Amino acid sequence: MPAIPALGRPLALLIACVIFFQLILFFKSNLSSSSDYHEDSLDQPHSESSRWDDPGRNRHPSVPLSLQDLLVLDELADTIAKTESRRVFENKEAGRIHGTRIKSNPELVQKIRDQIRCWTTHGTWQRQNQEFSALKHLGDSRFAKCDKNFMKVLDRDGNGHYLGEFDHAHNRLLVREAVKYKWVPDETICGPGAGPDKMGLEDAKAEYQEHSKTKLCEVMGQRDILVVGDLTQYQIHDVLLSAFQSTFVCYGELGCLHHGAHGLCQNVALKYARNDLLSIPWAVNPEDEEYPSASTVEQAWATDDMLLKYKVLILNRGLFWRSDEVFLSELVFTMRHLWKYYPDTMIIYRATHPAATDCNQFKSQGEDEAIAGKSGESIVEGTTLQTPLKSQPKRKQHHQGEYRPTLADIQRQNRIAKRVIEAAGGIYLDTEAMFALRPDGRMGDGDCARFCAPGPLDAYADLLYNTLRILQA
């Protein structure tokens, strides 16, 4: 049973530089600003993502870092990830995307990646004011808790209307406010055409289209989908089930892997595997006295039985905190295994979404029960209307003993993941900022990393459809 390979001498030297850099900051901070740090740390709230892992495991020994320090660390981490990716994957995949017919065409590969990135980073959440079709969720009922709260308002009003109907008397759709916002890419930048401000493809493929079951079945090309990752990935699995109008439910995320695959279309199936670290079967080696952590779940998924059947992988890891060097080494090891032994498998890796630190407050203010009136305020007494943010949340400086991952950690490790995934011939969905704008629509009650359904996460149905569509080039 082989062990995890070393990162290599060049990477080890770079990591040593990072450690040395942080030690300098440690002594500098303790000598010059210990009193200021103490006052600031008293006011620093705990991250809502602490529920996602053992709090003791989320505490990472580190020195306080200012915003400028974090920028320097970003550059170092990016350099390390770029160097290691080039060393491991030998820059052989510059003109290829695994699982497609695209080979030896670096220009097309770059345009496709730019197009996908444009769709996710140049757009806005726009409110659908008139009648529209919200995605009907057919998966796990636990994600419908927000709708249940909204139903209480409809029942209390006694107007005879039901969830999802259009109220013609008041010209409004009876769904939660969080459902009414749709992600719309900026066509002036991302749409068809050429120009200095354009990104990506220039032909009709650059048009962002709405999905349908028929369209999804066409772009799948009789390939099965395997979704792997933590509990946030379980929701992606539910979004896909609903987009394909499949009613099969796993009855718990740990049971999906051991049940039959969900049928989506003819000769197309979907399965979910809970693996919080994206570890492959021998990433943990008992012979070297390495054992799985009790705070994480690592179901075996990267096996011949699975990967010879499932040709489209949708992956993510991030909310279970690991230091940068461990995150990088584990991800490189997994991607190298896929790159080497399963070169015909399409790999789509989505960015980790920051947890919303204020979602519990939104719930206490009656976010789910709020109904917008003509003035833009809620017409339901005792509730406050919540809307998407206009700009991204700002990162804060690190504090010693702080719960991890912070926003800065997520942003930095997302950039690391992008380097590794693209070097290995995969597709990276840069949806971090897109969903950071949505503190609303979350589950709440301590779970501020996941969304209620229907809700903002439904945007993945359109995004995945358009991604698969242009990969048919």
The residue type found at 396 is K
Q: What is the mean pLDDT of residues 174-199?
A: 94
Residues in contact with 147: Cβ distance below 8 Å, sequence separation at least 6, in sequence order: 163, 176, 368, 452, 454
pLDDT at 46: 39
The predicted-structure confidence for 33-66, as pLDDT tens digits, reads as follows: 333 333 333 333 333 333 444 444 444 556 788 9
Higher pLDDT, 275 or 55: 275
CA distance linking residue 116 with residue 108, whole number of Å: 12
The predicted-structure confidence for 112-161, as pLDDT tens digits, reads as follows: 999 999 999 999 999 988 777 888 898 888 899 999 999 888 777 656 66
- State the pLDDT confidence band at 377, using cuts at 50, 70 and 90: confident
The predicted-structure confidence for 203-213, as pLDDT tens digits, reads as follows: 999 999 999 99
Q: Is pLDDT of 111 > 90?
A: yes
pLDDT at 52: 40
Is the Cβ–Cβ distance between 257 and 271 less than 8 Å? yes
- Tell me the average pLDDT of the chain: 84
Q: Is pLDDT of 442 > 70?
A: yes
Domain chopping of the chain, boundaries = 9-113+210-358+392-465
Residues paired with 262 in a beta bridge: 270
Quote the pTM value. Answer: 0.84
Q: What is the mean pLDDT of residues 424-449?
A: 94
CA distance linking residue 300 with residue 308, whole number of Å: 14
Q: Is pLDDT of 241 > 60?
A: yes
The fold adopted by the segment(s) 9-113+210-358+392-465 is: Rossmann fold (3.40.50)
Q: Is pLDDT of 443 > 60?
A: yes
pLDDT at 473: 63
Is the Cβ–Cβ distance between 445 and 356 less than 8 Å? no
Q: Which long-range contacts (CB under 8 A, 24 or more apart) does 293-296 make?
A: 293/57, 294/54, 295/53, 295/54, 295/57, 295/320, 296/53, 296/320
Higher pLDDT, 114 or 95: 114
pLDDT at 258: 83
Q: Is pLDDT of 9 > 80?
A: no
- State the pLDDT confidence band at 14, using cuts at 50, 70 and 90: low
Q: What is the mean pLDDT of residues 308-328?
A: 93
- State the pLDDT confidence band at 30, using cuts at 50, 70 and 90: very low
Higher pLDDT, 306 or 376: 306
pLDDT at 308: 95
pLDDT at 294: 62
Task: Output DSSP code: residue 426.
Answer: -
Helix, strand or coil, per DSSP, at residue 199: coil
The residue type found at 10 is P
First-to-last alpha carbon distance for the chain, in angstroms, is: 39
* DSSP-assigned states of every residue in 106-136: HHHHHHHHHHHHHHHHSEEEEE--S---PPP
Q: Is pLDDT of 28 > 60?
A: no
Q: Report the percentage of the chain scoring pLDDT > 70.
A: 82
pLDDT at 292: 59
pLDDT at 376: 79
Q: Report the percentage of the chain scoring pLDDT > 90.
A: 58
